[in-house]
């Protein structure tokens, strides 16, 4: 298929592009980029007037629930949601059933993902069965296709084991990703420990649970001179710890999710479990600190921590499972809260959502260079839309952005030069 994306505002930080250009796509790759490209016979024109054109988004932190929990999500439906959100690459966490702790489970994901509308990069588990007792074989996970290791969903409890894991991951050329929560400090809490939890009489999750493990991982990495990646940062103290570590030259990178720079724990007054996730929504001071850290580069990338759960699992506030879906709202929330408010530039958005996640994981993509695979996201910065859970492409509808009107509407998503999502009015 030959396509020509015309009249769009093209942003490609790797190549220093931030201007109106046309892009020709042929045989799955970007064949030409320039001004006023002539249309070829039989070529389909996609008029991008008024739209922004960027490299396909990479979300390096999602949960696909496949294998094991297809009632929540599977690789194919997660791909549908990703395409609708302009996401052309995802890295999926290993807390499936069974866990991604052996080559066979890695190969299952890779094989099934061949039919998905997004590229899928598996993350293997640090420990077998996520039990924190025995290491998985990092070399065999890497050989099978993993790009990172994590026990996401829970931290590695033992500092000694985590120290060894950081070294083992580096030797296997895998990024190590830490879920920073001390479960003993949390001790059954289900939301941020603060004024709101006290008022509604719900056991809270102290912020020290995140801050302590964040500091632990950074110290362990610093001592060995090795890299570590901190998942879903949510507290102002963790931001301060990471910022100082970066200033000292520690090889630490980190991520956050849109709900952490958009929403506060005031949402929990409604006792609606769709606003419960790990780590939890925090306070306005945390939202402000996360926003500042995204803008100043302390936080390297924006992810979703897409965590599908069924309506039944979310029905009872006190007993519900934590997690929210986010693949279809991440770009819009970022455009609404950061880009359209002037807090970040288009170039920064591309760095945060397209370039840095791939750089951290060591995977290809993130540019619109001639000859590169045509993974492209086209979106309107100004078009408003209301998040209606029943219209989401994910099997699960547990979004914390439900009912919100956001700016930033994905118009087209191209994967390997094929249109895998097209916004059609009335759908």
Catalytic residues: 305
Q: Which residues contact 297 (CB under 8 A, 6 or more apart)?
A: none
Return the structure tokens found at 78.
């997660």
**Cα 77 to Cα 422: distance, rounded to the nearest angstrom:** 16
**Cα 67 to Cα 64: distance, rounded to the nearest angstrom:** 8
Q: Enter the DSSP assignment of 50.
A: T
83 closest CA partner among 412, 351, 334, 363 = 412
Contact call for residues 174 and 141 (beta carbons, < 8 A): yes
E strands within 79-181?
A: 87-92, 119-124, 148-150, 175-178
420 closest CA partner among 400, 393, 387 = 393
Residue that has been written with the tokens 């997660």 in this structure: 78
**Is residue 162 within a helix (H) or strand (E), and if so which, with residue range?**
helix 159-171
Residue that has been written with the tokens 């931001």 in this structure: 239
Return the structure tokens found at 119.
């590229």
Q: In this structure, how many other beta carbons lie within 10 angstroms of the beta carbon of residue 267?
A: 17
Backbone angles phi, psi at 175, to 5 degrees: -70, 145
Q: In this structure, how many other beta carbons lie within 10 angstroms of the beta carbon of residue 145?
A: 17
For residue 405, list its beta bridge partners. Answer: 386
Sign for the pseudo-dihedral over CA of 350, 121, 117, 309: negative
Phi/psi zone of residue 178: left (φ > 0), alpha (ψ -120 to 50 degrees), beta? beta
61 closest CA partner among 399, 355, 246, 326 = 326
């Amino acid at each position: 298929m030959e396509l020509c994306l015309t009249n769009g505002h093209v942003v490609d930080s790797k190549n220093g592009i931030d201007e109106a250009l046309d892009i020709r796509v042929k045989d799955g790759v970007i064949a030409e980029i320039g001004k006023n490209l002539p249309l070829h016979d039989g070529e389909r024109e996609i008029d991008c007037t008024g739209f922004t054109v960027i490299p396909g988004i990479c979300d390096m932190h999602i949960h696909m629930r496949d294998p094991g929990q297809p009632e929540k999500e599977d690789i194919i439906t997660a791909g549908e949601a990703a395409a609708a959100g302009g996401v052309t690459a995802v890295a999926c966490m290993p807390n499936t059933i069974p866990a991604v702790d052996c080559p066979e489970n890695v190969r299952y994901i890779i094989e099934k993902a061949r039919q998905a509308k997004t590229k899928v990069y598996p993350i293997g588990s640090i420990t077998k069965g996520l039990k924190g007792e025995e290491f998985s074989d990092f070399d065999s996970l890497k050989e099978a296709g993993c790009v990172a290791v994590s026990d996401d969903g829970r931290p590695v409890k033992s500092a000694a084991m985590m120290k060894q894991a950081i070294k083992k991951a580096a030797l296997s050329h895998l990024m190590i990703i830490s879920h920073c929560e001390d479960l003993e400090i949390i001790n059954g809490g289900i939301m941020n420990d603060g004024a709101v939890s006290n008022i509604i009489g719900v056991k809270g999750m102290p912020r020290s649970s995140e801050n302590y493990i964040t500091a632990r991982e950074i110290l362990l990495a610093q001592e060995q001179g090795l890299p570590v990646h901190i998942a879903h940062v949510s507290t102002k103290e963790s931001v301060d710890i990471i910022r100082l570590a970066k200033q000292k030259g520690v090889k630490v990178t980190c991520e956050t999710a849109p709900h952490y720079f958009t929403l506060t724990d005031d949402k929990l007054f409604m006792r609606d479990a769709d606003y419960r996730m790990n780590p939890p929504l925090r306070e306005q001071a945390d939202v402000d600190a996360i926003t500042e850290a995204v803008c100043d580069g302390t936080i390297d990338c924006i992810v979703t921590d897409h965590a599908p759960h069924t309506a039944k699992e979310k029905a009872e506030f006190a007993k519900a499972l934590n997690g929210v879906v986010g693949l279809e709202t991440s770009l819009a929330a970022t455009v609404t809260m950061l880009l359209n408010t002037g807090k970040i530039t288009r170039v920064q958005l591309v760095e945060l959502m397209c370039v840095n996640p791939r750089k951290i994981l060591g995977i290809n993509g993130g540019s619109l260079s001639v000859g590169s695979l045509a993974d492209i996201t086209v979106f309107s910065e100004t078009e408003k839309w209301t998040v209606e859970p029943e219209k989401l492409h994910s099997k699960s509808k547990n979004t914390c952005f439900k009912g919100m009107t956001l700016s930033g509407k994905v118009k087209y998503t191209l994967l390997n030069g094929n249109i895998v999502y097209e916004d059609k009015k009335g759908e």
